[in-house]
Structure 1
């Protein structure tokens, strides 16, 4: 071993062993492919709005740190979401950063040792990753075989583990499930009884039939420990990286203390303001995607070689095939990129997750899948 490589090897030992053992979040190369693996909004802005946004961004003082426009954006997000009275907003560089901030703020030892984060699984991969990186113990509770909440298991685990944070993705990723309100409220009540926080992750809210914001209005006392997390990624701004958290001001203001001082750029901020000024356009886009969802599910169900297709309340569809790895690779050869989620959890064995796109995109994806099974 050369002196250089020996020095480097020693330096690498300064990086935490668990980090060195991890795999980085992998983004599949997509150049030249139909990208149906990450649930993005397929619609671009009309040219007139592209021009208007470009002019607005070009006029910004990017030589200055972000300022009061962030307060404008926060108020617009509160109005857009219909936030309950007494709420505050925390902004993040995507909801991923907010998940990190929540873990950072709650990573304190208690009577049972390290603080704990709990979530139903299979679920969003960033929950356990964030817990590990910020020093919390992650406690998974397995969903039922049909990806429903196992309420007895959730309640028993909450009572035993006393989690600081419980995540409920509503609807869930990657299963696209929107759990029944009474089941979700039972979990929220159980977390309230042990003095924990519940984060309702509504990343896919534009495509769901309901939002937990309704229950936060209807039953404020029962939901006083609930934080609503959303992102503008599925709204149509995946490239702008803007997530937000709505909750009681007393809680959100404490979480805000661990936020980096200028985590939202003036470009991200103004892009989000521009998008909210044109919220009707994005609502039309979401409606168009929702309209294509059931026809896609019906077509998938009719395909020979598709063993099961689950209902969806998001802009994705989960299905099981005979060999997900082979099907994904064959679809890629045909120019269509989808997600093989088999390795995420045993319940997802041989499952593919497909984005719901435009009618033309869905047709091309279906043709590639049919040829690949």
Structure 2
């Protein structure tokens, strides 16, 4: 495909775009056409036919000609009941966690503000900081993908970040950070007056939630925001994230939220899913069981190193990540090659846990591609 020539008017208009934005690369989603898609940590299970029909009827009855009304409040009430929202905490809804990350950056966008996070981690923390004009400081994890507590404490003391992101479990490493180290970092960040954002995107598959820590010691978490998404719950296509925070913090973050950011379709799909939460919990249980089988099978492959997982993904190191990725794609299986994301991820691949048939096909493609 040829590229159309750029007119003089367009070139002059481009000069008004920020130079750093023009130098950026857009977030690219891999094409999965004709491939088994195991690159994006999606729940592989859809709704049962009866629930599909029931949801379709509900969506068809919505007044899509009207702006959203009280749907967001009803959804907040349903989420509060679902998570057993602690006293003194409030909810903020977002169009996926990505929007919530942007809202947090906007709310904390003061001159000289910094965002701090361990690396490798979720790419949107750094990208959001750049787009908001905030400084971003990344602190490498150790070789086992655990927090380098000494380095993190030093970075907090030096940079005094407005926001400290701690993903629990982490993406793309899939592990839970050491809880004692987390507590000390949370305390240090609070002592210098910053916020902590604990990102629990993969909570349905983890053995522990930091929400239990907030309930156990609310006084130590007055500066902590806990963020979740319904994407891994099974609604990646719906784009619905939420955060819970002390009421005063939530009220300020909510001020920068765009009006009507949650559509009536998003809200109704989420309400419907929460009404049938047992279906999604059964799916998560199946995925957790499949994860154990997948890890065991991967550990038996020669030349492959596998890390423990508390998410619906598995991180592994192979002798040649580029060759293995290309070989698997040629065999019809799409995974994520994360080997270039960070030096600690050299020759690493990230696999999404799928159905038993998906995982068998993925394993066969990997074995043939090593």
**TM class by smaller structure:** over 0.9
Q: Which moved more, 1:13-22 or 1:270-279?
A: 13-22
1:30-70: CA deviation from partner (whole Å, max 9, x where unpaired): 11110000000000100000000000000000011111121
1-side partners of 2:84 and 2:134: how far apart? 32
Among residues 186, 189, 192, which one is paired with 1:188 in the alignment? 186
Give the TM-score taking structure 2 as reference length: 0.98
Specify whether residues 179 and 4 from structure 1 end up closer, same or farther in structure 2 by C-alpha distance, changes over 3 A only.
closer
* CA apart distance, 1:305: 3.4
Which residue of 1 is the match for residue 355 of structure 2?
358
Q: Where does residue 66 of structure 2 map in the other structure?
A: 64
Does residue 274 of structure 1 match 2:276? no
Residue 3 of structure 1, CA deviation:
9.6
Q: Which runs of 4+ in 1 moved over 4 A?
A: none
Task: Please name the residue that 1:165 is paired with.
Answer: 163
Cα shift at 1:79: 1.5
SS at match of 2:220: coil
Matches within 5 A, 1:167-246: 167-246=165-244
- Alignment equivalent of 2:150, drawn from 149, 152, 172: 152
Kindly tell me the number of residue pairs found equivalent between the two proteins. Answer: 367
**Other-structure match for 1:285:** 283
**In 2: Cα distance, 1:4 partner to 1:368 partner:** 44
1:9 to 8, 11, 19: 11
Q: Does the residue aligned with 1:140 lie in a helix, a strand or coil?
A: strand
- In structure 2, distance between residues paired with 1:288 and 1:294: 10
Are the equivalent residues in 2 in contact too, given 1:82–1:213 (CA < 8 A)? Answer: no
- What is the CA–CA distance in structure 2 between the aligned matches of 1:227 and 1:257, rounded to whole Å? 16
| 3-state DSSP of counterpart to 1:344 | coil
Whole-angstrom distance in 2 between the partners of 1:42 and 1:4: 43
- Equivalences for residues 12-27 of structure 1 within 5 A: 12-27=14-29
> Given the alignment of the two structures, is residue 100 of structure 1 paired with residue 102 of structure 2, yes or no?
yes
Report SS of the residue matched to 1:56: helix
Q: Which runs of 5+ in 2 are unaligned?
A: none
For 1:17 and 1:170, the matched residues in 2 are separated by: 34
What are the Cα deviations for residues 254-309 of structure 1, in whole angstroms up to 9, with x where unaligned?
A: 00111100111000000000000000010000000000111101111111232x11
Match of 1:321 in 2: 318
